[in-house]
């Protein structure tokens, strides 16, 4: 495999992976789901039969679309719980999407709420004490009420326990909580995190926000390599083009080589740096 082909493949892997991430949620119950199944907090469906019918539709719809980041796991499980869907038990048993610490905590929140408080109370409480040393030990519910995203740094907000605590705040998970979701990003694996609306607006959150430092370093390294290869491709092909300008070398084979050199030059100059 030549350098040009290898460089192009690496570039396409990195570029396409980050393009797959979607931070704009489409309702779980859109398009293929009956209009009566649109979930509105506090609004009950007409009957239990309607609920079960909508549960089936929501369940199948989300399973076919979660990969594209078109719907949030928090909204999906919240819907199943609100309608007392039997599928919630299956989701809690399989936990198929518990790829990251955050998504695992989302399952804990809807499947066994006690696990969230047991695992995250100390983490969030210690964070609060750094901001307000007078804060004393308190229940998870009290800790959540004291949490204010505007008083936290971005690094603190990226802590999964803080993310699930902000989701747990009153009214936050009823429409103001957003997820950042990316699958199969080279060197990063799964990226899945969540922030409240205030944080999204204040920090201009993007998929890059959620990746680990190791992932960032690897991605930057690959980008540097691609840039270097781009420059080398350009220099080598400029050399070929200059040499081919010699009248003595203007043969059919030389013209063919000149065409290839021109194509390679365009790749190095415009495609790879894009």
**pLDDT tens digits along 153-197:** 998 999 999 999 999 986 555 667 888 887 666 677 788 889 988
pLDDT digits (tens, 9 = 90+) for 201-230: 888 887 778 887 777 787 788 778 877 777
pLDDT tens-digit map of 34-66 = 567 877 777 778 888 988 999 999 998 888 888
pLDDT tens digits, 90-143 = 999 999 999 889 999 999 999 999 999 999 998 998 888 887 766 777 788 888
Mean pLDDT of the chain: 76
Please identify which residue in the block is written with the tokens 């030389």. 254
Query: Please, what is the Cα angle at 74 between 70 and 75, to 5 degrees?
Result: 65
Higher pLDDT, 234 or 148: 148
Q: What span, in angstroms and rounded, lies between the C-alpha atoms of 264 and 3? A: 11
- Give the residue-averaged pLDDT of 253-269: 63
Sign of CA dihedral 262, 260, 10, 14: positive
Please check whether residues 118 and 143 belong to one and the same domain.
Answer: yes
Q: Are strands 177-185 and 189-196 parallel, antiparallel or unpaired?
A: antiparallel
**Are 232 and 171 within one domain?**
no
Question: How far apart (Å, rounded) are the C-alpha atoms in residues 62 and 56?
Answer: 10
Quick check: 116 and 140 in contact, CB under 8 A?
A: yes
Residue 163 and residue 72 share a domain: yes
184 and 74 housed in the same domain: yes
Residue 155 and residue 238 share a domain = no
| Cα(209)–Cα(106) distance, integer angstroms | 19
**Contact in structure between 208 and 216 (CB atoms under 8 Å):** yes
pLDDT given at position 17 = 45
16 and 128 belong to one structural domain:
yes
At which of 161, 180, 211 does a domain end? 211
- Cβ neighbors of 151 (< 8 A, separation 6 or more) are 131
Among the three residues 211, 228, 263, which one is the final residue of a domain in this structure? Answer: 211
Weakest mean pLDDT among 27-31, 172-176, 183-187, 253-257:
27-31
pLDDT at 272 over 90: no
Q: Which of 211, 235, 260 is the last residue of a domain?
A: 211
Structural domains in the chain (count): 2
pLDDT at 252 over 70: no
The DSSP output letter for 248 is G
Q: Please give the residue range of the domain that contains residue 112.
A: 3-211
Q: Are residues 153 and 249 in the same domain?
A: no
């Amino acid at each position: 495999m030549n350098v040009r082909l290898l460089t192009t493949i690496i570039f396409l892997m990195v570029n396409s992976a980050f393009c797959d991430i979607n931070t704009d949620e489409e309702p779980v119950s859109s398009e293929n789901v009956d209009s009566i199944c649109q979930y509105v907090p506090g609004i009950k469906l007409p009957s239990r039969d309607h609920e079960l019918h909508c549960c089936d539709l929501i369940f199948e719809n989300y399973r076919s679309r979660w990969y594209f980041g078109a719907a949030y796991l928090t909204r999906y499980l919240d819907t199943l719980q609100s309608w007392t869907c039997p599928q919630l038990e299956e989701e809690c048993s399989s936990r198929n999407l518990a790829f990251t610490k955050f998504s695992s905590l989302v399952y804990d929140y809807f499947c066994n709420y006690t696990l969230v408080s047991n695992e995250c109370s100390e983490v969030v409480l210690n964070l609060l004490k750094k901001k307000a040393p007078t804060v004393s030990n308190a229940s998870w519910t009290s800790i959540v009420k004291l949490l204010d995203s505007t008083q936290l740094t971005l690094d603190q907000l990226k802590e999964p326990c803080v993310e699930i605590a902000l989701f747990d705040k009153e009214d936050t998970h009823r429409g103001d909580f957003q997820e950042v979701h990316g699958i199969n990003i080279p060197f990063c694996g799964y990226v899945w995190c969540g922030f409240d609306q205030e944080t999204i607006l204040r920090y201009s959150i993007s998929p890059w926000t959620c990746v680990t430092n190791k992932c960032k370093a690897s991605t930057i390294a690959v980008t540097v390599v691609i840039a270097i290869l781009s420059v080398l491709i350009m220099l080598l092909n400029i050399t070929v083009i200059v040499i081919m300008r010699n009248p003595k070398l203007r043969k059919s084979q030389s013209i063919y080589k000149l065409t290839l050199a021109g194509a390679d030059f365009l790749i190095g100059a415009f495609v790879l740096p894009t």
